[in-house]
Amino acid sequence: MSAELKCWQDFPPGGIAFGATARQVETGLWRSMRPVLDAVRCVSCLRCWVQCPDASIITDSDARVSGVDFFFCKGCGLCAKVCPAGAIVMRPEAEFLNEPCGAVQGTSPEGR
Amino acid sequence: MILLGREKPYRREMTSGNLAFAEAMRQINPDVVAAYPITPSTEIPMKFAEFVADGLTDTEFIAVESEHSAITACVGASVSGARVMTASSANGIALMHEIFPIAAMFRAPIVLGLVNRTMGAPLNIHCDHSDSMPERDSGWIQIYCEDAQEVYDTVLLAVRLAEHRDVLTPVFVCQDGFITSHCYEPVEFLSDEIVRNFVGTREPFWPLLDVDVPVSYGSFVMSEDYFEIKRTQLEGMSNVPRVCGELSRELAFVTGREYGAVERCMTDDADYVVVVMSSAAGVAKDVVDSLRGRGVKAGCLRVRMFRPFPYDEVRDVLGDKLGVAVLDRSVSPGGAPPLAAEVRTALYDCPRRVPVASYIFGLGGRDFFPADAEMVFEDLAEGRSGFAGYIGLRDKYARGRRAV
């Protein structure tokens, strides 16, 4: 038995994990299309911020949309769909091959 | 027990297995009930929904769109720390199947009223055990009740059993569809105060909604840890006999009725014993009484708890018998009937071989008559063992009450 692997008696009941957090899970790795924000067209209505299933829309201190967190963004395209100003377009990831996958467009959220 | 309540401690009413279950639910006042109707269990959530609508409970009643959703909502509520109950039957149980092992692994205490009904097809609403038997490996405790009084008592017991720290395992409280669920018989109900004192409130361990101790349920686990985590689940089931015994004695102190994992009827000095579950035990015990009057040393063993299976008790009762007959109310096509398989397993370690005759009876609600039980005892006296036939099946070549 390898020293670092636990015996069954060391696991809590229910298969639960203590202190686990989704903050560590880079769901951005799943993305094939990425939302690109046009800051000039954006009216900061925050519909994208409300609808984003991964809380990936970043806002600045004035609560204006300032970017997308690509560490979490799965590229579902919901933000582009609900945007009334046409300020978000979905582009293939192939166009961004020279950028790191988890790059953040805008300010980085705390906790990563 | 000194009873200081305002209410009378007990009241007797004519009621049915379903309505006794629903009345127990009202008294228990669970936090969440999510249910979807299916005959013959429909009356349970239907009557309970009335209690909710009349403001007699504080329960969050979730009317869902399928049994799969019902049990899924129950699991979510249970791991969040709520006291949870539901009910279903037959194909509804089958639709819930995917979620049952998840509830068991999450150690989510849920009490489910399982009103036994045959699995379609052909479509039939009447009783056999072909809905609950496929769930014997789902990790749920299975208790089979003979009558409405036992259903009522067992629901109270099941809440404490499921939520006990050493068990934390969901429970099926089974009763025979229509035979028990819809027939009216006298049932003694405890006062609301006694019930609430007995069931108390749930003390959840690691609830999902405790923000001070954040936990995740349902994480992905690879091969290096899965086996160990699965092993932790089995601890709850292995503690059931001890905890259930303690709780049964505590409840019997209030009700005067104590139930074990098995019920013995004239088995001590019996030569021949019939093993059976649920309502059919009433017929078998009646026949045992009449055979005793004719000098035949007959006995009946009713298996009440099927999971965990009481191997030791069954071996203790049957190990010295001249013949044992096992009556299964379900089939395992191509394999041994489930109860017969367990009884034979229990008897394998006996020093002396006990002949076991296995029968199938009562599929799709086919009646089980005293003459059928008498025929089984006659078979045993003739030394029959192995698969002994289908009781009451019409067969062109059958002689008497049985087809092989």
- Cβ separation of A14 and B79 shorter than 8 Å? yes
pLDDT at position A3, please? 59
Whole-number mean pLDDT of chain B? 96
Indicate whether A110 belongs to any domain. no
* Cβ–Cβ below 8 Å for B206 and A14: yes
Chain A residues with CB under 8 Å of B214 CB are 18-21
B356-372 burial, b if ≥16 CB within 10 A, otherwise e?
bbbbbbbbbbbebeeeb
Preferred mutation among B225, B227, B234 to probe A, highest tally of A CBs within 10 A? B225
Whether B245 and B271 share a structural domain: no
- pLDDT tens for each residue of B21-75: 999 999 999 999 999 999 999 999 999 999 999 999 999 999 999 999 999 999 9
Q: Are A11 and B228 in contact (CB under 8 A)?
A: yes
pLDDT of the residue at A18: 87
Contact B361, B310 (CB under 8 A): no
Over pLDDT 70: what percentage of chain B? 98
Q: How far apart are the first and last CA of chain A?
A: 34
Contacts of B213 in chain A (CB under 8 A): 18
**What per-residue confidence (pLDDT) applies to A2?**
53
CB B95 within 8 A of CB B72: no
Does A13 fall in a domain? no
Residue A87: CATH number of its domain: 3.30.70.20
pLDDT of residue B399: 75
Is residue A47, in this structure, part of any structural domain at all? Answer: yes
Instruction: Looking at B324-383, list the stretches that DSSP marks H as alpha helix, in order from N- to C-terminal side.
Output: 338-347, 370-381
Per the structure, the count of domains in chain A is 1
Query: In this structure, are B168 and B313 located in the same domain?
Result: no
Distance (Å, whole) CA B102 – CA B97: 9
In the DSSP assignment, the letter for residue B31 is S
CA distance A13 to chain B (A): 6
**Which helix or strand (DSSP H or E) is residue B378 part of?**
helix B370-381
Is residue A1 one of the residues assigned to a domain? Answer: no
Model confidence at A67: pLDDT above 80: yes
What is the mean pLDDT of the segment spanning B347-360?
Answer: 96
Q: Do A18 and B217 touch (CB under 8 A)?
A: no
Residue B5 has pLDDT above 60, yes or no: no
Q: Do residue B244 and residue B271 come from a single domain?
A: no
Domain final residue, candidates B207, B227, B255 = B255
The residue from B203, B225, B255 where one domain ends is B255
User: Which residues does chain B have within 8 Å of residue A19's beta carbon, measured at their own beta carbons?
Assistant: 214-215
For B187-236, how does the pLDDT look when each residue is reduced to its tens digit (9 = 90+)? Answer: 999 999 999 999 999 999 999 999 899 899 998 899 999 999 999 999 99
Write out pLDDT tens, residues B87-125. 999 999 999 999 999 999 999 999 999 999 999 899 999
Domain count, chain B: 2
User: Does some domain include residue A101?
Assistant: no
Calpha distance B9→B3 (Å, rounded): 7
Q: Are residues B217 and B329 in the same domain?
A: no
The A-side interface with B (CB below 8 A) comprises 5-8, 10-21
Residues B247 and B277 both lie in one domain: no
The structure tokens listed for A12 are 């809590």
Using 50, 70 and 90 to split pLDDT, how confident is the model at A97?
confident
Kindly state whether residue A7 falls inside one of the protein's structural domains.
no
Chain A neighbors of B168, CB-CB under 8 A? 13-14
Nearest CB to A13; choose among B168, B216, B221: B168
In this structure, the answer to whether residues B29 and B170 fall within a common structural domain is yes
Q: Which residue has the tokens 């002994």?
A: B388
| Whole-number Å distance between alpha carbons of A68 and B284 | 72
Dihedral sign from CA coordinates of B98, B37, B151, B73: positive
What is the pLDDT at residue B226? 96
Residues on chain B touching A23 (C-beta within 8 angstroms): none
Q: In this complex, do A13 and B224 lie within 8 Å of one another by their Cβ atoms? A: no
Task: Identify the domain containing residue A63 by its residue range.
Answer: 23-96
> Quick one: pLDDT at residue A101?
55
Q: At A21, is the pLDDT very low, low, confident or very high (cuts 50, 70, 90)?
A: confident
Which domain CATH number covers B210? Answer: 3.40.50.970
Residue range(s) defining the domain that contains residue B107: 10-255
